[in-house]
Amino acid sequence: MYYLIRIAYDGSKFYGFQRLNDVESVQKVLENALVVINKKEVFVKGAGRTDRGVHALDQCVSFKLDINIDCDGLKKALNSLVEPYIYIKEVKEVDKDFHARFNVKRKTYLYKINIGEYNPLLSDYVYQSKYKLDIDKMKEVGNLYLGVHDFSNFVSGERDNNECVIYDINYRIKDDILEIRFVGKSFYRYMVRNLVGMMIEIGRGKEDINKVKMMLEAKESILGYTAPAEGLYLEKIDY
């Protein structure tokens, strides 16, 4: 049987999504739990590989089991094995050709910035800015990101093509927390954190918006800024 699960997790408790031998990762916890249920080795495929400290409200994972178990039973069994820092929100059966990453139509990432008084209880869950931020200038930067661009200066790692599309960026302030949502087809490693990093630097007046234009247009490498991991959430996956 082939399954897709939607999960949420507290990224501050893991060294990222991808399985690592000597440290705790989300994939490692899920696969270890599925081995208990399946009685055989199970390999899962995630919709995205969140980094250490990055949270998820709606990560999606697909896998195959050798046993036949109904979705409600699988959800209960998994949650009993992966809580308290991972929670399976939904389980559904899928076709054998379904792939959690390759079938994605769009992703939504959320970045949270505390623009009010420092709150120690939020230290693992939002970026707490030490600077007064000009949000209008940050929105100007966001407008430059919209559409199709070569984001080579905003990603980490080597690949043949860093071109992708951002459909929408929206903003909301609630209880002194600035929420920035990015909706796009694909996001590469560190991309959202680097996009936000430049927004913060320009919002605090340290950099000029023309640097962002250069980073989007230039073929050579231009050093930017990476926002901290704790403010980032994988919020939604659409298929």
* Peptide linkage before 120 cis (omega within 30 of 0): no
Angle subtended at Cα 232 by Cα 229 and Cα 238, rounded to the nearest 5 degrees:
140
pLDDT of residue 65: 97
> 33-50, pLDDT tens digit by residue?
999 999 999 999 999 999
Domain ranges of the chain: 2-93, 106-238
Q: For the chain, percent helix, then strand, then coil, each to nearest 5?
A: 30, 30, 40
Cα 198 from Cα 86, distance rounded (Å):
31
Question: Six-digit token pair at 7?
Answer: 């999960």
CATH of domain 106-238: 3.30.70.660
51 an active-site residue? yes
Mean pLDDT of the chain, nearest integer: 96
> Is residue 216 classed as helix, strand or coil in its secondary structure?
helix
pTM of structure? 0.95
- Identify the band that residue 21 occupies on the pLDDT scale cut at 50, 70 and 90: confident
Rounded to the nearest 10 degrees, the angle between the axes of helix 209-217 and helix 191-203 is 150
Question: Six-digit token pair at 198?
Answer: 């430049």
Other C-beta atoms closer than 10 Å to the C-beta of 238 total: 13
- Whether the pLDDT of residue 159 is over 80: the answer is no
Structural class in CATH, domain 2-93:
alpha beta
- Given 51, 95, 124, 175, which residue is catalytic? 51
Q: Fold identical between 2-93 and 106-238?
A: yes
Beta bridge partners of 232: 111
Cα 10 from Cα 22, distance rounded (Å):
19
